């Protein structure tokens, strides 16, 4: 039967939320005779279609601000504390733009967040009008950083990097196991992220010795995955590569399990469910041994481990948005520290010259080339038992790949 | 975990040419069966819509949000009381009848002053309200429930049919039949039909039109509760989940004829099959166009639908 | 009403609004108002067909999206000047309106049938735009940030406000002119009773076709403005249900079939959304719960829209002794 702990979890969640609230309210009381707080915009979609991801991102940013302030604020500015100006992008570009305008009006020194590519594309431009520094958290579309906007810095790897890295890692994992996999079926959602990725994989996989048997697009939301499963069953691929959002992937995984389809591996790229603890918890059987190339924290970093413990103790699920936004905020704080000023040009200059390595991601030191963090890369994850392990690259790994899946 | 590796190895031989656009008869047949199973649940969602449309002549924008609310109700009963989704029908169907009745009687009816444009706005307002209330309470996570029979299936040799979907098919057909019988045979049914045909006349012979409207709305909402109980073993719920079913339900209502119960059932099954096959041949994304093409064609060439009378 | 008197209120409102960017320095407010104006233009388009013609479309996104995509694509792919492409977008939107109108009105679709078919057309456009290569598919179309007035991009948001206001003004004048014209009278006759109108020698098909073409063109202008202001489009933005709903709700809230209804409705709705967003605070969704509740209350207590209610209050204030007649769907401006 289902987990009887559920009601308790909700209670914890509420208490957690209350603790958050008190923390935020109490913060100004701690301020003594100190320099004026530095306002930082945190933009996330917390209503509408993307509300879940937005809420997760917000947790990361909030906790980072709390930790920065607890550590003495921005020391080069006399220990000035950071103060969050939160904006709800409402899951739409115009909602995000409106909030950037408001943040500009309230005098924020920079904006962190955005999450979805469409929101980031619109909001970075709105911020660019005011030379307002903007640290993008996720926003995988590479258009975001290709427009020559001087104010825009994306901390996470984009599409191109993720896809190339996913392919390279796949080849390495496959080679190490004696090349058990050769044929592939691609499943992708038909939006910006899924379609773009599928296109890349379709051209790149054959060059690396794989045969793409079929590419199946599906809309979000999809009501039924039976046909997709049916086609996978007919093609009998060694590998299934799904790029979908959470709900659709859950449907697919359920249908595949129900149809008793078990390829040698499910190798997801930036999948909404593969590296999601709710999925692991609710469908341990369907989730087990699934691989994903995605954003993740550095599992060897003690700060990351502590943060994960804290978030989970509050009853929230751990997702990559949390460490990513946490790191993005630390990255901004570091730039403020070095800029010794809240002047926008100085902050942008400091961000551009950043070699920050105090983040909790499996990245090298940040190094920006035209707004792209060339130090960033996705990692390969695998659901093993009830946990999600990093299996590749070795320098960040806390687990070994299980591939192919045992029959 | 049991899985048929032998069958899988045997199946490999059937695939002579993996890139051929033609599908084997087994796959097409399975797709048709899948379509029928899905279509039955669509029909159930459409039943509520067609009933409300046929009697009240309103397009109920809140239909999807009410379905979502019912799905969350199933989730809550399962998580907090351990109630099986099928058992959950016992409390939820009457509860949602009452909710529907109350909404029409005390909110939609009085607030809209009988003006079509206003009904539209009120149901739109309701759908925004309900959807976001659910967001505020449950947050935006996608939630699922796990039942022991979720992965049981009926093996037809060439196809595996998921047990919960077969159950959903059966229950949908029974509910449609029951609803039809209720309308055809009972006094309440006669009153509903009278109001649907001639509102003023019905009022003149002493039928309480506001009550009949509310009963109809309640019945439509109760259908959603059944649909939610049938969906949850295989589907997921998030504050926006119900929306996925609304347009397809509209298509079915139009196809079957607005207000027609048998029309909604047959229309639902038909749309399920069309969706399944066009998804197979044109891909899931473009396959959706198949539904709209039918929808537009029906409206242009036979707007009364297959079973409807001229409005 | 003399010609001057008929257009005087429009001139007064537009002149008053034009002062706003000079007085208000907050870009937050100006940005909010620009978006409101864009929605108002879409709503004005809807009002021509829905308000005066009685044909409720649920799919004005089809026109909005066509205007937006044609504008953006001709600019980014063919390199044409955006001022020209906005005009071409309007023409394209009007053409789409004419085709959809021809198909549906020729088949005699009215009421909810017409509403549903427009909804279906908009959805088909959305799916096609998402799949097609020319529209940039799911990746969308991005117009480069290049702030030059001849490029339809302005250093100050206030300038864009004036551009939006100018389009709204054109919409207001167009609506008033139609209201006063023979065509407008025919349109209202068709709305009130199509068969009776036909008996009087009106050709309902022709009248409705002209109405949907004008309506679609105006809504396409709104799409063009959106594209030029936000510089990014994808299928969900251009052809999504959100704009169909905005275009329909605003006139109904503001006063359906009235000159100022769509503008008033857009301001009220956007303002309400903004206000609830600030009042409701932290829990996501609560602001929209309040918005939904207010929408229902507004309909319950102002069933003839904001302008209608204002009209009633005005009459009551002027003639306190005479009891007001029961409110009907007739708007205050419709006379």
Q: What is the pLDDT of residues C177-222, one digit of tens each?
A: 999 999 999 999 999 999 999 998 999 999 999 999 999 999 999 9
Examine residue B286 and state whether it is found in any structural domain, yes or no: yes
Q: Which of residues 98-157 of C touch B (CB under 8 A)?
A: 103-104, 107-109, 111-113, 115-117, 119-121, 123-124, 127-128, 130-131
CATH number of the domain where residue B131 is located? 1.10.3470
Contact B80 A7 (CB under 8 A): yes
Residue B137 C-alpha, separation from nearest chain C C-alpha, in angstroms: 9
Among A51, A217, A234, select the one facing B283 at the smallest CB separation: A217
Verify whether the Cβ–Cβ distance B18 to A2 is below 8 Å: no
Which residues 142-161 of B have a C-beta within 8 angstroms of A?
Answer: 142, 144-146, 150-151, 153, 160
Please state, as a whole number, how many other Cβ atoms lie within 10 Å of the Cβ of residue A203. 9
Instruction: Pick the closest to residue A44 from C321, C249, B140, B52 (CA basis).
Output: B140
Q: How far, in Å, CA of B124 to CA of A116, rounded?
A: 27
- Mutating which of B133, B146, B150, B243 best tests the A interface, going by the most A Cβ atoms within 10 A? B146
- Domain boundaries in chain A? 6-157+300-376, 160-294+380-396
CB contacts < 8 Å between A and B, how many? 130
CA distances from B124 to A51, B108, B216, C238 (A): 21, 10, 19, 21
CA distance B244 to C23: 46
The beta-carbon neighbor of B141 closest among A52, A234, A254 is A52
- Whether B243 has its CB under 8 Å from any CB of chain A: the answer is yes
Q: A314, A301, A303, A304: which is closest to A23 by C-alpha? A: A314
Identify from A17, A52, A57, A98 which residue to disrupt to test chain C contact, counting C C-beta atoms within 10 A and taking the largest count.
A98
Q: What value, to the nearest 5°, has the Cα angle with vertex B155 and ends B272 and A280?
A: 80
Measured CA to CA, the distance from residue B262 to residue B175 in angstroms comes to: 11
Q: What residues are paired with A294 via a beta bridge? A: A379
Answer for the pair A341, A348: CB distance below 8 angstroms, yes or no.
Answer: no
Minimal C-alpha gap between A119 and chain B (Å): 18
If we measure between CA atoms, which residue out of B224, B221, B223, B204 comes closest to residue B213?
B221
Q: Would you state the pLDDT for residue C334?
A: 31
Interface of A with C in 131-160 (CB under 8 A): 141, 143, 147, 149
Q: Largest alpha-carbon pair distance within chain B?
A: 72
Q: What is the DSSP letter of C151?
A: G
Helix (H, G, I), strand (E, B) or coil at B153: strand
Return the pLDDT at C331: 34
B200 within a domain of the structure (yes/no): yes
Contact B120 C292 (CB under 8 A): no
B114 touches chain C (CB under 8 A): no
Cα dihedral across residues A317, A318, A319, A323: positive or negative: positive
Q: Distances from the Cα of B228 to the Cαs of A219, B92, B167, B303, C270, in angstroms?
A: 22, 9, 13, 29, 34
Contact between B139 and A51 using a beta-carbon 8 Å cutoff: yes
Q: What gap in Å lies between CA A200 and CA C158, rounded to an integer?
A: 42
Residue C130, CA distances (Å) to A122, A272, B292, C297 in order = 19, 20, 15, 37
Identify which of A218, A255, A214 has the alpha carbon closest to the alpha carbon of residue A238: A214
Q: Under an 8 A CB cutoff, do B136 and C115 touch?
A: no
Query: What distance in Å separates the CA atoms of residue A64 and residue A59, rounded to the nearest whole number?
Result: 9
In this complex, is the C-beta atom of C230 within 8 Å of any C-beta atom belonging to chain A?
A: yes
Specify whether the CB–CB gap between C72 and C237 falls below 8 A: no
- In order along its 335 residues, chain C shows pLDDT tens digits of 577 888 999 999 999 999 999 998 888 899 899 999 999 999 999 999 999 999 989 899 999 999 999 999 999 999 999 999 999 999 999 999 999 999 999 988 888 788 888 988 998 999 889 877 777 777 788 888 888 999 999 988 899 999 999 999 999 999 999 999 999 999 999 999 999 999 989 999 999 999 999 999 999 999 999 999 988 898 888 998 889 989 988 998 898 899 999 999 999 988 888 887 777 666 777 877 888 888 888 888 877 777 777 877 777 777 654 444 433 333 333 33
Pairing relationship of beta strands A387-392 and A265-269 according to DSSP bridges: unpaired
Please name the member of B112, B250, B289 whose beta carbon is closest to the beta carbon of C124.
Answer: B289
Domain assignment of residue B73, given as a range: 38-301
Cβ-count burial of C52 within 10 angstroms (0-12 exposed, 13-18 middle, 19+ buried)?
buried
Q: Of A154, A160, A162, whose CA–CA distance to A133 is shortest?
A: A154
Of A47, A213, A227, the CB nearest to B280: A227
Top residue of C104, C303, C304 to mutate, by most chain B CBs within 10 Å, is C303
Asked if residue B155 is part of any domain, the answer here is: yes
Give the residue among C54, C53, C57, C87 at the shortest CA–CA distance from C70.
Answer: C87
User: For chain B, what is the domain count?
Assistant: 1
> Is C242 in CB contact (< 8 Å) with chain B?
no
Q: What is the CA radius of gyration of chain C?
A: 20
Burial class (CB in 10 A: 0-12, 13-18, 19+), B205: exposed
Question: A259 and B23 in contact by Cβ < 8 A?
Answer: no
Query: CB–CB of B151 and A257 under 8 A?
Result: yes
Q: Which chain C residues contact residue A94 at CB under 8 A?
A: 35, 230
Q: HEC string of chain A?
A: CCCCCHHHHHHHHHHHHHHHHHHHHHHHHHCCCCCCCEEEEEEECCCCCCHHHHHHHHHHHHHHHHHHHHCCCEHHHCCECEEEEEEECCCCHHHHHHHHHHHHHHCCCEEEECCCHHHHHHHHHHHHCCCCCEEECCCCCHHHHCCCCCCEEECCCCHHHHHHHHHHHHHHHHHHCCCCCCEEEEEEECCHHHHHHHHHHHHHHHHCCCEEEEEEEECCCCCCCHHHHHHHHHHCCCEEEEECCHHHHHHHHHHHHHCCCCCCEEEEECCCCCCCHHHHHHCHHHHCCCEEEECCCCCCCHHHHHHHHHHHHCCCCCCCHHHHHHHHHHHHHHHHHHHCCCCHHHHHHHHHCCCCCCCCCCCCCCCEECCEECCCCCEEEEEECCEEEEEECHHHCCCCCCCCCCC
Chain A residue with the nearest C-alpha to that of B3: A260
Q: Which of C109, C215, C111 is nearest to B119 (CA)?
A: C111
Interface with C, mutate which of B56, B69, B72, B125 (most C CBs under 10 A): B125
Query: Is A55–C287 a contact, with Cβ atoms under 8 angstroms apart?
Result: no
A2 min Cα distance to partner chain B (Å): 7
Give pLDDT, residue C142: 86
Sign of CA dihedral C211, C216, C217, C221: positive
Q: Are B257 and B306 in contact (CB under 8 A)?
A: yes
Contact A122 C230 (CB under 8 A): yes
Q: How far apart are CA A230 and CA B158, in angstroms?
A: 11
Architecture label for domain C3-257: Orthogonal Bundle (1.10)
Establish whether this prediction's ipTM goes over 0.90.
no
In degrees and rounded to multiples of 5, residue C153 shows phi and psi of: -125, 135
> Chain B contacts of A227, Cβ < 8 Å?
31, 34, 276, 279-280, 284
Q: State which residue of chain C sits closest to A20, comparing Cα positions.
A: C282
Check if CATH label 1.20.1580.10 holds for domain A160-294+380-396.
no
Taking an 8 Å cut-off on Cβ atoms, the answer to whether A195 and C137 are in contact is: yes
| Tokens representing residue B288 in the block | 């959706």
- β-pairing, A372-373 with A368-369? antiparallel
Of C109, C256, C293, the CB nearest to B303: C109
Report the alpha-carbon distance of residue A128 to residue A150 in Å, rounded. 7
Backbone torsions φ then ψ of B143, nearest 5 degrees: -115, 150
Cβ neighbour number for residue A178 with a 10 Å cutoff: 7
Residues in chain C with CB shorter than 8 Å from the CB of B239 are 285
Contact by Cβ (8 Å): B38, A225:
no
Nearest CA to C224 out of C22, C13, C45, C31 is that of C45
Please, which chains are in contact with A (at least 3 CB pairs closer than 8 A)? B, C
Specify the DSSP element, H or E, that contains C238: helix C235-238
Equal CATH topology for A6-157+300-376 and A160-294+380-396: yes
Q: Which of A129, A149, A190 sits opposite C131 (nearest CB)?
A: A190
Nearest to A118 by CA among B156, B19, C37, C142: C142
Q: Which of C146, C230, C242, C292 should one mutate to test binding to chain A, selecting the residue with the greatest count of A CBs within 10 A?
A: C230
Q: Report whether C129 contacts C263 (CB < 8 A).
A: no
In this complex, which of C109, C294, C329 lies closest to B299 when CB atoms are compared?
C109
Which residues, including other chains, have CB under 8 Å from residue C111's CB and lie 6 or more apart?
Answer: B116, B311, C56
pLDDT, tens digit, 9 for 90 and up, residues C83-127:
999 999 999 999 999 999 999 999 888 887 888 889 889 989 998
Nearest CA in chain C to A219: C127
Cα torsion angle, B219, B224, B227, B233, sign: negative
Q: How confident is the model at residue A292 (pLDDT cuts 50, 70, 90)?
A: very high
CATH code for the domain defined by A6-157+300-376: 3.40.50.2300
HSE on the CB side for B250, CA within 13 Å?
26
Task: Locate the chain B residue with the closest alpha carbon to C329.
Answer: B115
Interchain CB distance below 8 Å, C139 and A94: no
Residues C270 and C39 sit within 8 Å (Cβ to Cβ): yes
Residue A5, pLDDT score: 36
Contacts of C247 in chain B (CB under 8 A): none
Q: Which residues 282-321 in chain C show a CB within 8 A of chain B?
A: 283-289, 291-297, 299-300, 303
Angle at CA of residue B98, ends B95 and B99, nearest 5°: 85
| Chain B: residue whose CA lies nearest to C116 | B250
Residue B26 domain-assigned?
A: no
Chain A residues near residue B275 by CB distance under 8 angstroms: 224
DSSP state of C48: I
Contact by Cβ (8 Å): C74, C56: no
Of C115, C127, C283, the CB nearest to B289: C127
**Residue B172 located in a structural domain:** yes
- Partners of A102 on chain C (C-beta within 8 Å) are 28
> Is residue B18 less than 8 Å (CB to CB) from chain A?
yes
d(CA A298, CA C294): 47
CB contact under 8 A, B118 and C107: no
Taking only the tens of pLDDT, chain B with its 311 residues reads 333 333 333 333 333 333 335 778 888 899 999 999 999 999 999 999 999 988 888 888 899 999 999 999 999 999 999 999 999 999 999 999 999 999 999 999 998 887 777 887 899 899 989 998 998 898 877 888 888 888 888 888 888 888 999 999 999 999 999 999 999 999 999 999 999 888 888 888 889 999 999 999 999 999 999 999 999 998 889 888 888 888 889 889 888 888 889 999 999 999 999 888 888 887 777 777 888 888 888 888 887 776 665 44
């Amino acid at each position: 039967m289902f987990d009887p702990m559920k009601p308790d979890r909700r209670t914890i969640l509420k208490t957690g939320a209350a603790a958050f609230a008190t923390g935020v309210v109490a913060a100004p009381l701690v301020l003594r005779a100190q320099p004026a707080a530095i306002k930082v915009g945190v933009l996330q979609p917390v209503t509408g279609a993307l509300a879940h991801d937005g809420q997760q991102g917000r947790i990361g940013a909030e906790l980072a601000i709390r930790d920065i302030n607890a550590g003495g604020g921005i020391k080069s500015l006399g220990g000035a504390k950071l103060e969050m100006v939160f904006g709800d992008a409402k899951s739409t570009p115009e909602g995000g733009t409106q909030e950037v305008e408001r943040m500009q009006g309230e005098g924020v020194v920079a904006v962190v967040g955005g999450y979805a590519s469409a929101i980031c594309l619109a909001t970075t431009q709105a911020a660019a009008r005011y030379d307002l520094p903007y640290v993008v958290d996720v926003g995988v579309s590479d258009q975001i950083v290709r427009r020559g906007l001087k104010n825009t810095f994306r901390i996470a790897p984009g599409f191109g990097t993720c896809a190339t890295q996913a392919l390279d890692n796949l080849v390495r994992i496959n080679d190490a196991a004696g090349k058990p996999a050769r044929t592939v079926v691609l499943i992708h959602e038909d939006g910006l992220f899924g379609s773009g990725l599928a296109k890349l994989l379709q051209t790149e996989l054959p060059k690396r010795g794989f045969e793409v048997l079929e590419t199946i697009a599906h809309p979000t939301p999809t009501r039924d995955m039976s046909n997709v499963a049916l086609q996978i069953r007919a093609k009998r691929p060694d590998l299934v590569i799904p790029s979908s959002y959470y709900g659709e992937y859950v449907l697919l995984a359920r249908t595949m399990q129900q149809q008793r389809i078990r390829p040698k591996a499910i190798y997801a790229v930036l999948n909404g469910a593969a590296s999601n603890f709710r999925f692991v918890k609710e469908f341990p059987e369907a989730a087990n041994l699934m691989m994903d190339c995605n954003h993740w924290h550095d599992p060897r970093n003690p700060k990351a481990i502590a943060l994960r413990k804290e978030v989970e103790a509050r009853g929230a699920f751990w997702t990559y948005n949390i460490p990513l936004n946490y790191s993005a905020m630390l990255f901004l704080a570091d730039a403020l520290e070095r800029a010794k000023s809240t002047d926008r040009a100085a902050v942008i200059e400091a961000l551009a010259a950043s070699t920050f390595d105090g983040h909790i991601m499996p990245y090298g030191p940040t190094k920006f080339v035209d707004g792209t963090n060339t130090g960033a890369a996705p990692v390969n994850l695998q659901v093993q038992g009830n946990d999600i392990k990093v299996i590749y690259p070795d320098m960040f790994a806390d687990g070994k790949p299980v591939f192919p899946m045992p029959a | 975990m049991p899985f048929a590796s032998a069958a899988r190895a045997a199946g490999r031989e059937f695939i002579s040419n993996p890139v051929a656009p033609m599908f084997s008869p087994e796959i097409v047949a399975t797709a048709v069966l899948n379509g029928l199973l899905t279509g039955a649940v669509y029909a159930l969602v459409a039943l509520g819509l067609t009933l409300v449309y046929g009697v009240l002549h309103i397009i109920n924008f809140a239909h999807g949000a009410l379905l979502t609310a019912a799905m969350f109700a199933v989730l809550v009963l399962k998580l907090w009381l351990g109630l099986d989704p099928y058992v959950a029908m016992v409390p939820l169907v009457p509860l949602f009848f009452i909710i529907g009745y109350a909404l029409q009687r005390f909110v939609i009816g009085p607030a809209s002053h009988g003006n079509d444009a206003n009904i539209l706005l009120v149901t739109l307002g309701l759908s925004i309200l309900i959807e976001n209330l659910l967001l505020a309470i449950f947050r935006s996570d996608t939630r699922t429930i796990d039942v022991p029979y979720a992965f049981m299936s009926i093996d037809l040799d060439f196809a595996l049919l998921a047990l919960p979907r077969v159950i959903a098919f059966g229950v949908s057909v029974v509910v449609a039949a029951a609803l039809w019988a209720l309308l055809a045979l009972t006094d309440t049914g006669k009153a509903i039909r009278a109001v649907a045909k001639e509102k003023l006349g019905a009022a003149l012979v002493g039928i309480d039109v506001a009550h009949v409207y509310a009963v109809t709305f309640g019945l439509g909402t109760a259908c959603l509760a059944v649909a939610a109980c049938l969906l949850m073993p295989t589907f997921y719920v998030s504050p926006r989940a119900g929306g996925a079913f609304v347009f397809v339900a509209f298509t079915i209502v139009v196809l079957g004829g607005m207000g027609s119960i048998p029309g909604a059932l047959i229309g639902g099954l038909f749309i399920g099959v069309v969706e399944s096959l066009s998804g197979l041949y044109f891909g899931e994304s473009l396959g959706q166009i198949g539904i709209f093409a039918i929808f537009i064609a029906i409206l242009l060439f036979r707007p009364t639908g297959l079973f409807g009378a001229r409005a | 009403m003399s010609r001057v008197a008929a257009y005087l209120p429009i001139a007064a409102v537009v002149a008053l609004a034009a002062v706003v960017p000079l007085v208000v320095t907050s870009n937050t407010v100006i940005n909010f108002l620009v978006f409101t104006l864009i929605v108002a233009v879409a709503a004005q388009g809807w009002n021509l067909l829905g308000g005066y013609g009685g044909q409720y479309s649920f799919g004005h996104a089809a026109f909005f999206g066509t205007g937006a995509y044609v504008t953006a694509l001709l600019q980014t792919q063919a390199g044409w000047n955006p001022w020209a492409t906005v005009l071409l977008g309007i023409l394209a939107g009007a053409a789409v309106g004419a085709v959809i109108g021809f198909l549906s009105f020729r088949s005699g679709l009215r009421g909810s049938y017409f509403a549903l078919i427009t909804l279906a057309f908009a959805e088909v456009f959305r799916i096609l735009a998402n799949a097609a290569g020319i529209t940039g598919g799911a990746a969308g179309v991005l117009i480069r940030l290049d702030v030059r007035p001849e490029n339809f991009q302005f250093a100050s948001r206030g300038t864009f406000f004036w551009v939006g206001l100018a389009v709204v003004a054109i919409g207001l004048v167009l609506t008033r002119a139609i209201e006063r014209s023979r065509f407008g009278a025919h349109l209202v006759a068709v709305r009130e009773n199509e068969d009776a109108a036909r008996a009087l020698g009106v050709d309902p098909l022709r009248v409705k076709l002209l109405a949907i073409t004008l309506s679609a063109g105006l809504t396409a202008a709104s799409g063009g403005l959106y594209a030029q202001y936000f510089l990014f489009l994808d299928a969900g933005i251009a052809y999504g249900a959100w704009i169909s709903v905005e275009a329909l709700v605003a006139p109904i809230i503001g006063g359906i079939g009235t000159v100022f209804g769509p503008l008033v409705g857009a301001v009220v709705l956007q303002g309400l959304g903004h206000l609830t967003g600030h009042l409701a605070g932290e829990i996501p969704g609560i602001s929209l719960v309040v918005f939904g509740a207010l929408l229902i209350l507004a309909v319950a207590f102002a069933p003839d829209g904001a302008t209608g209610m204002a009209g009633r209050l005005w009459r009551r204030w002027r003639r306190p002794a005479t009891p007001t007649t029961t409110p009907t769907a007739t708007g205050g401006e419709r006379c």
